[in-house]
Structure 1
Amino acid sequence: MREVISTPDAPSSPFYSQGVKSGGFIHISGLVGVDVNTGKPAGPTIQEQTRQALANCRAVLAAADATLDDVVEVGILLSDPADFAGMNEEYRLWFPSDPPARYAAKLGAVIPDVLISIRMTAYVGEGRSDS
């Protein structure tokens, strides 16, 4: 079974679903650091855009009745790999202990002023810590 997850609290597009729940997994699309209220990047720094991208992912998780504690994997795409350390400054605040599995790579698409895209997979099925 496949359930599309949608919220007005995260960026959206007709070209992708913000999230899809299937079985016990929630797959969050790669979301950028754009503020949905302004439609613009949250700021010029990697820290600001990382914060916003993570907040956008959290909003989609919430729409699926999940939290960051349910996240098992995170994928990070950076426009500039030199931003890796700056991204980690903000990222560690969101996952201070027992962080999920993670990968990072270079963002292939060129999107003006966008520094980061973050995707996540969460597990909310049987054996979940709060079930």
Structure 2
Amino acid sequence: MSDNNGTAAKVALTPATHTTPPAKFSHGVKKGNILQVAGQVGFRPAKEGEPPTPVGPTLREQTLQTFANVKAILEEGGATWDDVMMLRVYLTDVDHFAEMNEIYNQYFEEQQLTAPPAARTTVYVGLPKGLLIEIDALAVLG
């Protein structure tokens, strides 16, 4: 797909598991072989007419759901975890770092990556009450 200038068009990505964003942004965008996933949190898959809610109160529950939400956008854009170049993890509590690393390592071991793992940055932030983690991703396809 290209725009009027013959360059790749920028396409918004919203998988069926996600509702329309609450503000003027896209859950993911793809232009050419670049795919950027917006920060995702551990919200349950979307149900029309219901507000988004966290999947559960634990870091494990929220991290695994956050990975599922990122993966849904990657797949919507034709990417896999092997295409991801950079992951940014945002935690609300420095004390969650070791547990998040354990969950992260186990998750990616189960994904059976065929390419080297993505680069990663982890920072500590404030998120809405009850949310413990947020993750965004940058993928390059082809």
Q: Same fold by TM (over 0.5)?
A: yes
Moved more, 90-99 or 12-21: 90-99
8 Å CA contact 2:84–2:137 kept in 1: the answer is: yes
Match of 2:45 among 18, 36, 41: 36
What displacement does 1:42 show?
1.5
Match of 1:47 among 43, 56, 60: 60
AA of the residue aligned to 2:17: D
Kindly report which structure 2 residues correspond to 1:1-131, keeping only aligned pairs within 5 A, or say none: 1-10=9-18, 12-15=20-23, 16-37=25-46, 39-96=52-109, 98-108=116-126, 110-124=127-141, 128=142
Q: Which structure has more strand as a fraction of its residues?
A: 1
1-structure distance, mates of 2:94, 2:20: 25
Q: Show structure 1 runs of 5+ residues with no match.
A: none
Pairwise CA RMSD: 1.7
1-structure distance, mates of 2:101, 2:69: 17
Q: Secondary structure at the match of 2:121?
A: strand
Q: Show structure 2 runs of 5+ residues with no match.
A: 1-8
AA of the residue aligned to 2:125: L
What displacement does 1:14 show?
3.3
2-structure distance, mates of 1:107, 1:12: 24
2-structure distance, mates of 1:13, 1:74: 21
What displacement does 1:35 show?
0.7
After superposing on structure 2, the runs of 4+ consecutive aligned residues of structure 1 that deviate more than 6 Å are none
TM-score (norm 2): 0.79
What displacement does 1:29 show?
0.3
What displacement does 1:43 show?
1.5
Q: Percent identity?
A: 35
AA of the residue aligned to 2:80: T
TM-score (norm 1): 0.86
Alpha-carbon distance change, 11 to 91 in structure 1, aligned in 2, over 3 angstroms? farther
8 Å CA contact 1:11–1:35 kept in 2: the answer is: no
Q: Secondary structure at the match of 2:36?
A: strand
- Count of aligned positions: 124
Q: Secondary structure at the match of 1:28?
A: strand
Alpha-carbon distance change, 53 to 11 in structure 1, aligned in 2, over 3 angstroms? farther
